[in-house]
Amino acid sequence: MKNQNPSLGKPSFIEVAVKYRVEDLRGASIPGSRMTKILEQLESGQLLSNFTLEYLHQKGFLALYRYAQKEISFTDYLKAAEPEKTKRFSAAEIKAIIEETEQNAKREALQATAKREQERAAAKKRAFDNDPKNIARAKQFELREKYDLSDFIEKANFPIVMDILRRVDNGIRLSEEDIVWLTTKGGEYYTIELREEYHRTEAEFYAGEFQKSKDPWSAVNASSHYRKCGRAKSADSMLITVDVTKLKNPKLKSAICTTHGGVKRDLRKFEDALGLGEQAHLLTPKDFRPCTLLGAVNIEIGHYDLGQAWYKKAVERGASEKTVDDDLRSIFMRAEKSKQEDLRDHLLKIDPVRYSWVRKKLGKNQSRNNH
């Protein structure tokens, strides 16, 4: 039974597997596997146990089973082992085909299931998106996002707010009652975005009126709203078409010069702003508005004493101290840090109580800049 030639050295596991025509078996060349141990026993001439013989018989290794019991020679074994190996190859191929077929079937089933789920989800989404209630909710959400009102809105105020948003978004002018509500009870909903859109609509309305009627007062109103929605260039383009020299009413001429001066101030054209403000003051020396403009421009360019003098004249002519202080706050907040410090020192020297807010404002700005 022993077939090993000592002079050739011990063959490898795969060589032994090839010798016995079982190299197609996965475990035949793996150290420690059951088939490897059986082959080692056969190579060394050991008898196999009844348990091992039964294993060979059950697994269909009939040639090996007969050879182990010395029923056939090794030559006859090889003749019998080859057909068994061929049969195993055929069985393996059939098994592989079956497994591949099963895997393809499972994959197709999974794909079909996934497709049905996608179609159901798409149908559900279409139904959801096409539902009038959901369409309305989506539009409400978009409007609230657009006007920075995505936070909680009181239930009682919700219909009012949404009605205002829809009208503003469609370019429909708000009524005086709407503005009163937004500036009083509904103040928390009067966001920067909503305010700017309101002023844009008003500006376009009055600009349209001016184009139709050429009434300069419409230009004054349009300019005021253009400035409040950050469109000073549009106001400037419109106002330069007004020939002030042809106007006879001093109040109207002053209003045109004052609003145009404000536009030039917004555009950082301070010399033009000063010239228009002074012209307006000469036309209506008792009107506080040109004085307020001249006060603001002089403060912005660093002429603090002259600016304060003009603000004083504005108050003497009817402007409220609150209007002046609001102007100063606005200038202070927009100024660069170095100019803020200069303006703070100036205001605190004038009235440290009235202008105590500059200490807090400067502190906040410094903290923000440090971050």
Residue 312 CA to residue 171 CA, distance in Å, equals 40
pLDDT for 127: 66
| Domain final position from 166, 197, 228 | 228
Q: Where are the alpha helices (DSSP H) in 20-131?
A: 34-43, 50-58, 62-68, 74-130
Structure tokens at 91: 């069985």
- Domain stops at, among 186, 213, 228: 228
pLDDT digits (tens, 9 = 90+) for 5-22: 444 568 888 888 888 888
In a domain, 236, yes or no: no
Tokens of 204: 């376009």
Rounded Cα–Cα distance for residues 327 and 289 (Å):
12
Q: What pLDDT, in 10s, does the model give residues 248-298?
A: 999 999 999 999 999 999 999 999 999 999 999 999 999 999 999 999 999
**pLDDT of amino acid 311:** 97
Encode burial over 1-33: b for 16+ CB neighbours within 10 A, e otherwise: eeeeeeeeeebebeebbebbbbeebebbbeeee
Same structural domain, 171 and 209: yes
CB under 8 Å to 29, separation ≥6 — which residues?
A: 12, 13, 14, 17, 23, 36
Residue 293: predicted pLDDT: 98
Q: Is residue 273 part of a domain?
A: no
Q: Is residue 21 part of a domain?
A: yes
Instruction: Assess whether 45 and 94 both reside in one domain.
Output: yes
In a domain, 271, yes or no: no
CA angle 348, 354, 358 (to 5 degrees): 55
Do the domain assignments include residue 107?
no
Q: Is residue 111 domain-resident?
A: no
In a domain, 140, yes or no: yes
| Regions in the chain scoring below 50 on pLDDT | 1-7, 363-371
Of 60, 80, 101, the domain-final residue: 101
Tokens of 63: 């040639």
- Residues 305, 320: Cα–Cα separation, whole Å: 19
Per the structure, the complete domain to which residue 342 belongs is given by: 279-371
CA 222 to chain centre: 35
- Cα–Cα distance measured from residue 104 to residue 20, given in angstroms and rounded to the nearest whole number: 36
DSSP line for 329-354:
HHHHHHS-HHHHHHHHHHHHHH-TTT
Same domain, 286 and 208: no
Question: Does 233 map to a domain?
Answer: no
Q: Give pLDDT, residue 193.
A: 95
Q: Residues for the chain: how many in total? A: 371
Are the C-beta atoms of residues 36 and 30 closer than 8 Å to each other? yes
Query: What distance in Å separates the CA atoms of residue 165 and residue 110, rounded to the nearest whole number?
Result: 48
Q: Cβ(189)–Cβ(153) under 8 Å?
A: yes
What is the rounded CA–CA span in Å between residue 272 and residue 45? 117
Number of domains the chain is built from: 3
pLDDT at 104: 75
d(CA 306, CA 293): 12
The token pair at 65 is 């089973």
Q: What is the pLDDT of residue 11?
A: 84
Check: CB of residue 277 under 8 Å from CB of residue 263: no
DSSP class of 31: T
